[in-house]
């Protein structure tokens, strides 16, 4: 296998355990990888404000991919690239969410998150939009939303759990973010390992040199991966780095 020079990690359900913590084992092996010259970066659906505290906890000074690839950072607080979602599209998505009474919804803006409880009916042009999301445990409602979205051309449709749908502008994905990072860092996609658990991880898992699913991943993610390993509660990142990237160093 080609030597891995960059490891891209999903956060929720992958790097973080079910208590939203980074285990000591994961932190130890991340620093072992960094010491060996391997760059370790987050590739998350989270916005920067909720991702960066974990980067600071690990004392990472490496790139970050946030909001499913809508933002790419040279390193924490140093933006490299940002792709916005049109206000008109956000308005359409909001109208669609309102058709399902039990559906909870949210959107990331450059300045933070707005959701069903805090949504402001105002001039959509006043905000810089990044991502829109739907959440409901009603499978029929999710199916209806997905059916409608399947007819829209200007979007990427993924999820970060079986109960939600995440929308980014067309062409935006974690895989696209990694491609931009590879160009920035002067490395090939074949020199990247990526790991995740949800549909927003599938593109990067398929396109990198080593695509890995955690044991708790959705079935479609496992089917797309080169390897399926232990769960997020069993220090999956440590397992990946020890056995596949550093190979027991």
Active site residues: 10
Please state whether beta strands 64-66 and 39-43 pair in parallel, antiparallel, or not at all (unpaired): parallel
Q: Give the C-alpha distances (Å, rounded to integers) separating 7 from 12, 41, 86, 132, 195.
A: 16, 6, 31, 27, 8
CA distance 26 to 43: 16
Tell me the angle at which helices 139-149 and 87-98 cross, rounded to the nearest 10 degrees.
150
Two tokens at 181? 């990072």
Residue appearing with tokens 């359900």: 13
CA distance 210 to 206: 8
Residues 182, 41, 171, 222, CA torsion sign: positive
CA distance 168 to 155: 6
Two tokens at 60? 């990472």
Alpha helices in 58-124 (DSSP H): 87-98
Three-state secondary structure string covering 153-191: CCEEEECCCCCEEEEEECCCCHHHHHHHHHHHHCCCHHH
């Amino acid at each position: 296998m080609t030597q891995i020079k960059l490891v891209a990690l999903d956060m929720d359900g992958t790097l973080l355990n079910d208590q939203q913590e980074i285990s000591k084992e994961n932190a130890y092996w991340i620093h072992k990888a960094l010491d060996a010259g391997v760059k370790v970066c987050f590739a998350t659906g989270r916005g920067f404000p909720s991702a960066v505290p974990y980067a600071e906890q690990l004392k990472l000074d490496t790139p970050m991919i946030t909001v499913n690839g809508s933002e790419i950072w040279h390193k924490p607080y140093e933006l490299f690239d940002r792709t916005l979602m049109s206000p008109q599209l956000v308005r359409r998505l909001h109208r669609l969410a309102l058709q399902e009474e039990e559906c909870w919804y949210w959107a990331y803006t450059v300045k933070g998150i707005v959701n069903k409880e805090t949504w402001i009916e105002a001039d959509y042009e006043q905000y810089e939009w990044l991502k829109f999301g739907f959440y409901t445990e009603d499978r029929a409602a999710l199916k209806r939303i997905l059916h409608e979205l399947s007819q829209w051309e200007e979007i990427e449709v993924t999820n970060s759990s079986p109960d939600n749908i995440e929308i980014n502008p067309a062409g935006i994905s974690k895989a696209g973010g990694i491609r931009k990072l590879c160009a920035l860092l002067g490395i090939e996609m074949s020199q990247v390992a990526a790991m995740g658990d949800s549909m927003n991880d599938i593109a990067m898992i398929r396109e990198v040199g080593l695509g890995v699913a955690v044991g708790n991943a959705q079935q479609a993610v496992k089917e797309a991966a080169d390897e399926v390993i232990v769960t997020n509660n069993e220090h999956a990142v440590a397992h990946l780095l020890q056995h596949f990237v550093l190979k027991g160093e």
